C-alpha cells in the first residue's frame, strides 16, 4: 500500500463547525409519493408529518421537500401557479405549518424548493403578461418577435423536447420556456421580477423554513441578445433529444445570475446566520457555475450538480474527479452530493450491473456517507430500492413519454414509498396510487427491514450516526490514496483525526490489506471482495 498521507490535516474552523448544514445529511421527500392520508392515491403534507418520526430515526439533520405549491401539475409541481400557497392535493398552509412545527420538535431542519427560473402558464403573472405588450407585467416573462419568416427567434432547444419557443397569438410573439411549453421563463433580469421572487422567499422564511434548494437556477437568466447556441460536434455523446445537439451558452448561465443570488443571500441573512441555501446546477458548465454560485461570503452556501446522478458507471475516477473540484481553498463554497433523486434513475439500477442489488445498495450507502460535503438521501434510498418498473401506459412524466423507450425517465424513481409489505399499495394509500407500486419494492418495505439488524435501513442509521460522531467524515478534508484499480481509496481528516476509506468497485477480490496499526470502524461485504468497502482509523 502506498500514498497514505502521514501528516495531520488542518481542522475545520470554529465557524464551520458551528454551521449545522456543513456536512449534514438531508433527506429528500417527494411528497406526491411519500404517504397519502386521504385515499386519493397522491401523497400529501399530513402524510409527511405522520412519518417524520421515522425520518428522524434515521439520524438525518433535516428534510428537503420537493414542491407542494399550487400547480396544474404538468411537471408535477415544478410548474408553479402560486408561489405562496399549498396545492389542495397536498393540503393547506395550516398542514404545512404543522409539518414544520413537528419537524422542529424532532430536531429536523426544513428545506423547501424555490423555482425562480420559470412559473406555470396558469400563474396570474403570466396571464397578465400575455394579455398585451403594454400591461404592468408585460416584461415579466421573456417575449420575442418572430423572424421574418415566422420561425422562432433563434435555435434554442428545450430540455424536454423541441424548441424553447412557443407562439402566443394574444401578444403576437413567442415566449421562452427551457422546459415544457407550460413553464414559461421568468424575465429575472427585470428588477420587479427579482423583487417579487425575494418576497416569496420571505413568505416561506416567515413560516419557519430553514432554507431553500434553488431549482434549475442556472436557467434563470438568458442572453438578451438572443444569440444562437452553437452545435455540439458529431460524436460528442449520446443524442436522445434536440437539446443534446447544442452547447447551451446563451439560453442559460448568464453572468448576472451570481448578483441575483447575492440578493437571495441577503434576504436569508436577515433571518439569522443558520439559514441554508443550495443550488441545483446541471449542464455542461455545471462545475464552473457551482463554484461561482458559492464563491465568497455573499453567495449561496452550497451547490450540487449531476456528477453522480447521470453517471453511467461507478469508477474510482468518477469519485476522485468530483472530489477534486472542491479542494477546500479559501473562499470556496461547500459541495453537496446525491446518488439518487426524483430526476434520475435510482442508483441501485444505474450502477450495480448484474451484481447483487442488496449488496450494492449497502456499498453505495457506505461510499455516500464517506464523501466530503453535504449528503442528500432520497426517500427509499435507505431501503435499497431499485428503479421501479412502470409500463408505458402508466407513465406520467412528460419527458419519459416523449422520449420512450430511449430514456428510463423519471417515473421509476417517483413510485410510492413502501411502508408495509402486506398492506394494500405497500401502506402508501388506501386508493389507487398515481404511479404503480413495484412488487420488488414490497420485499424491501420499512416494516420488514426495521427488525432486521443487517438490513440496508439499519445500516443507513449506523452510518449516519458514524458520520455525526466522526468530525473527519462530516467536516474533514479528502485526499486520494494510491490503490490498484478497481479499488477506490481516500483519506478523510480533521485535525488529529484521520480515516482511511477503501471500496472495491470491481467484480473480483482485491489484495490490499489494512495497514498495520489501523482498525475498521465500519464495513460492508467481505474484506475487499466484490461489493465491499470499509472505513478504518488508527488504533488507539
Residue with cell 456528477: 307
On the CB side of 7, CA atoms within 13 Å amount to: 5
Backbone angles phi, psi at 409, to 5 degrees: 70, -175
Task: Pick the catalytic residue from 61, 79, 113, 215.
Answer: 215
User: Is there a catalytic annotation at residue 215?
Assistant: yes
Q: Spell out a b/e string for 531-540, using b for 16 or more CB atoms within 10 Å of the CB, else e.
A: bbbbbbbeee
Which residues, at least 6 apart from 268, have a Cβ–Cβ distance to it below 8 Å? Answer: 201, 205, 211, 212, 275, 277
For 487-493, the CB contacts below 8 A with 24+ separation are 487/316, 487/512, 487/528, 488/315, 488/316, 488/319, 488/320, 488/367, 489/316, 490/319, 490/320, 490/323, 490/370, 491/4, 491/5, 492/370, 492/372, 493/5, 493/8, 493/9
- Distance, in Å, from the CA atom of 431 to the CA atom of 202, rounded to the nearest integer, reads 36
- Distance, in Å, from the CA atom of 529 to the CA atom of 531, rounded to the nearest integer, reads 6
DSSP lists the bridge partners of residue 65 as 29, 112
Backbone angles phi, psi at 492, to 5 degrees: -110, 140
Four-point Cα dihedral 133, 139, 140, 144, nearest 10: 80
Which residues, at least 6 apart from 502, have a Cβ–Cβ distance to it below 8 Å? Answer: 481, 483, 487, 488, 489, 512, 528, 533, 534, 536
Task: Pick the catalytic residue from 36, 121, 280, 301.
Answer: 280
User: Is there a catalytic annotation at residue 447?
Assistant: no
Nearest to 147 by CA among 160, 156, 135: 156
In angstroms, what CA-CA distances link 127 with 120, 138, 161, 178, 355? 10, 10, 24, 18, 52
Nearest to 121 by CA among 93, 140, 147: 140
- Distance, in Å, from the CA atom of 450 to the CA atom of 477, rounded to the nearest integer, reads 34
Burial class from Cβ neighbours inside 10 Å (0-12, 13-18, 19+) for residue 294 reads buried
- Distance, in Å, from the CA atom of 418 to the CA atom of 374, rounded to the nearest integer, reads 26
Enzyme catalytic residues? 215, 280
Amino acid at each position: 500500500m502506498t500514498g497514505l498521507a502521514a501528516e495531520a490535516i488542518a481542522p475545520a474552523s470554529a465557524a464551520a463547525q458551528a454551521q449545522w448544514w456543513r456536512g449534514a445529511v438531508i433527506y429528500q421527500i417527494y411528497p406526491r409519493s411519500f404517504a397519502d392520508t386521504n385515499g386519493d392515491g397522491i401523497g400529501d403534507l399530513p402524510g409527511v408529518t405522520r412519518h417524520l418520526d421515522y425520518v428522524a430515526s434515521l439520524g438525518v439533520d433535516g428534510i428537503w421537500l420537493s414542491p407542494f405549491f399550487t400547480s396544474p401539475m404538468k411537471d408535477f409541481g415544478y410548474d408553479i401557479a402560486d408561489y405562496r400557497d399549498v396545492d389542495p392535493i397536498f393540503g393547506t398552509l395550516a398542514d404545512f405549518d404543522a409539518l414544520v412545527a413537528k419537524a422542529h420538535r424532532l430536531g429536523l431542519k426544513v428545506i423547501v424548493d424555490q423555482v425562480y427560473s420559470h412559473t406555470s402558464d396558469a400563474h396570474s403573472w403570466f396571464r397578465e403578461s400575455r394579455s398585451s405588450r403594454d400591461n404592468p407585467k408585460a416584461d415579466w416573462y421573456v417575449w420575442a418577435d418572430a423572424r421574418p419568416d415566422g420561425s422562432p427567434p433563434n435555435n434554442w432547444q428545450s430540455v424536454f423536447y423541441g424548441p424553447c419557443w412557443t407562439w402566443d397569438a394574444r401578444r403576437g410573439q413567442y415566449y421562452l420556456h427551457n422546459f415544457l411549453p407550460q413553464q414559461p421563463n421568468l424575465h429575472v433580469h427585470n428588477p420587479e421580477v427579482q423583487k417579487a421572487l425575494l418576497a416569496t422567499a420571505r413568505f416561506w422564511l416567515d413560516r419557519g423554513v430553514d432554507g431553500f434548494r434553488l431549482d434549475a437556477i442556472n436557467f434563470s437568466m438568458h442572453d438578451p441578445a438572443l444569440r444562437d447556441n452553437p452545435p455540439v460536434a458529431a460524436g460528442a455523446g449520446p443524442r436522445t433529444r434536440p437539446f443534446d445537439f447544442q452547447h447551451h451558452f446563451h439560453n442559460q448561465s448568464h453572468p448576472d445570475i451570481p448578483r441575483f443570488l447575492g440578493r437571495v443571500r441577503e434576504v436569508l441573512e436577515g433571518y439569522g446566520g443558520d439559514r441554508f441555501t443550495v443550488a441545483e446546477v446541471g449542464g455542461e458548465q455545471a462545475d464552473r457555475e457551482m463554484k461561482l454560485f458559492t464563491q465568497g461570503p455573499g453567495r449561496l452556501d452550497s451547490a450540487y450538480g449531476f456528477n453522480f446522478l447521470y453517471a453511467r458507471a461507478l469508477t474510482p475516477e468518477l469519485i476522485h474527479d468530483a472530489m477534486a473540484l472542491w479542494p477546500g481553498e479559501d473562499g470556496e463554497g461547500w459541495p453537496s452530493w446525491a446518488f439518487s433523486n426524483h430526476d434520475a434513475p435510482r442508483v441501485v439500477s444505474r450502477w450495480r450491473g448484474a451484481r447483487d442489488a442488496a449488496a450494492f445498495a449497502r456499498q453505495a450507502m457506505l461510499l455516500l456517507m464517506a464523501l466530503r460535503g453535504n449528503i442528500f438521501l432520497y426517500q427509499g434510498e435507505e431501503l435499497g430500492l431499485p428503479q421501479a418498473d412502470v409500463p408505458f401506459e402508466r407513465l406520467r412524466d412528460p419527458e419519459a413519454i416523449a422520449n420512450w423507450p430511449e430514456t428510463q425517465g423519471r417515473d421509476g424513481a417517483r413510485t410510492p414509498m413502501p411502508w408495509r409489505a402486506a398492506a394494500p399499495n405497500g401502506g402508501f394509500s388506501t386508493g389507487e396510487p398515481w404511479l404503480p407500486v413495484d412488487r420488488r419494492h414490497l420485499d424491501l418495505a420499512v416494516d420488514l427491514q426495521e427488525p432486521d439488524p443487517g438490513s440496508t435501513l439499519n445500516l443507513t442509521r449506523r452510518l449516519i450516526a458514524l458520520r455525526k460522531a466522526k468530525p473527519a467524515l462530516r467536516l474533514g478534508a479528502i485526499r486520494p490514496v494510491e490503490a490498484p484499480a478497481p479499488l477506490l481509496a481516500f483519506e478523510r481528516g480533521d485535525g488529529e483525526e484521520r480515516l482511511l476509506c477503501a471500496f472495491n468497485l470491481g467484480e473480483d477480490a482485491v489484495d490490499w490489506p489494512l495497514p498495520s496499526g489501523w482498525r475498521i470502524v465500519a464495513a460492508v461485504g467481505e474484506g475487499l471482495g466484490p461489493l465491499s468497502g470499509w472505513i478504518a482509523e488508527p488504533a488507539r
